[in-house]
Amino acid sequence: MIHFEWPWLLLVLPLPWLLRRFLPPVSVSQAALKVPFLADFDAASGRRAVVAERRWPLWLALLAWLLLVLAAARPQWMGEPILLPQSGRDLLLAVDLSGSMQEDDFEIGGRRVDRLTATKRVAGEFIQRREGDRIGLILFGAQAYVQVPLTFDRETVLTLLYESAIGLAGKETAIGDAIGLAVKRLQAVQSERRVLILLTDGANTAGEVAPLKAAQLAAEKGLKIYTIGVGATEKEVRSLFGTRRVNPSRDLDEKTLRAIAEQTQGRYFRARNTQELQQIYRLLDELEPSEGEAIRYRPRSALYPWLLLAVLLLALPLLLREGKS
């Protein structure tokens, strides 16, 4: 259906008729010489054709006026109602982009991939399931910054998550700054359920805020933090002396991550492979369910640009006619 945002503007439709009806006509200078046989010339040249030729600009101008008034009334096309589930939860994802995230100790479909690629895959599926939540994205390395503010637009969050790259925020890891930035972003939000999911594979090696100090501030502001430590515990590497096993997650500070979660009433998870990471995000769905009371929403599309385009097309012949005359 069509809805007019400002329907009262339709009252000006009869304005041209009112001006013609109540204003005195414009005076036209009379010819000094009258030709008594002027009617014969009119009959010879076809008076009806002349009258018709003079009237079409008038009808064109009236049609343009009608479309202009309709455009001013802001017509909108109302789509079918859509039910949007609402949970009232504000959910921030903080993803580590430090240099160690390029360690290829994860697998997807039998193919070895780095930690960030696996994180994008699993976290992307998690975001797609979060209907009704406002989701934001924080990326951090040596610095932390908000890539996507809180929004219901999950597609934008997914796109910018997939476009993130290792080293984009520096090679080091500023866990405390990431938490502090999340607190700053959420402190002005009027929401009872505020959650931060922080994923990292290392320890705090950069930044101005200590992780536990930032966690204390988060607890005071009512921000619950779920921490995820990613990285395999064992990996085979080849060298000149043969194959040996190493621990690629030796730098992971599980003690601090566990303390952050406990201090904010959250939980700490350990993801050693893609399957464990998927299980963690499924568990987060259970701990922080996204279902809520649905609201009715009707998408709107503005129609006035098309009407204005039609007015310009109708006015073009009038302008060309005036230019010739």
Above 60 in pLDDT, residue 292?
no
275 and 314 share one domain:
no
Phi/psi class of residue 170: alpha, beta or left (left: φ > 0; alpha: ψ in -120 to 50)?
Answer: left
Give residue 53's pLDDT.
Answer: 56
138 and 238 share one domain:
yes
Regarding predicted confidence, which is higher, 113 or 18? 113
Q: What is the distance between the terminal CA atoms of the chain, rounded to a whole angstrom?
A: 44
Range of the domain at 289: 83-296
- Give φ, ψ of 188 to 5 degrees: -90, 0
For the chain, give the percent of residues with pLDDT over 90: 33
The enclosing domain of 168 has a CATH number of 3.40.50.410
214 and 306 share one domain:
no
Residues 176-198 have a mean pLDDT of 86
Q: Helices then strands (H, E): number in the chain?
A: 10, 15
194 and 168 share one domain:
yes
Number of domains present in the structure of the chain: 2
186 vs 5: CA distance, rounded Å: 34
Q: Is 319 exposed, middle or buried (0-12, 13-18, 19+ CB in 10 A)?
A: exposed
253 and 144 share one domain:
yes
Give residue 155's pLDDT.
Answer: 92
67 and 179 share one domain:
no
| DSSP codes, 39-84 | HHHHHHH-HHHHHHHHHHHHHHHHHHHHHHHHHHT-EEEE---EEE
140 and 262 share one domain:
yes
What digits encode the pLDDT tens for the residues 141-153? 999 999 999 998 8
Above 70 in pLDDT, residue 82?
no
Question: Which of 177, 187, 268 lies closest to 223 in space, CA to CA?
Answer: 187
43 and 7 share one domain:
yes
161 vs 175: CA distance, rounded Å: 18
Regarding predicted confidence, which is higher, 209 or 35? 209
244 and 122 share one domain:
yes
